Amino acid sequence: MMFDVPASETGNFVARRATMLFASFSILSWSARSLSPSPYRTGFCYAAITVTAGLAVLGLVELARGFAGPFILVAVGVEIILATLFFLHVLYGETVDHLKA
């Protein structure tokens, strides 16, 4: 049992559907890495920050409720790292892009 949460048919159904969302998000992130500085890239970064920070908060809430086990902290850690990296890219990404040129 991952995250010490018992499996159920409903949970497995939702997990399979969420897998496709995360796969799409991964492909979109990989494709967007070469976008030039623009409102689209900034908007994508804000969306990514919202998703990853939101998942981290939800993971901590579920841990505090006692629904998820301590292994959820691994996922929360990865989500916080991703949110931080996207946030730093919003703050400094365009500056770094201009330095490359």
pLDDT truncated to tens, each residue of the chain (101 aa)? 667 778 888 888 888 898 998 899 889 888 887 888 888 888 999 999 999 999 999 999 999 999 889 999 999 999 999 999 999 988 987 655 555 55
| φ, ψ (nearest 5 deg) of residue 36 | -75, 160
pLDDT of residue 94: 60
Max Cα–Cα distance, the chain, nearest Å: 53
For the entire predicted model, the pTM comes to 0.77
Distance CA 72, CA 74 (A): 5
pLDDT of residue 75: 93
pLDDT of residue 95: 59
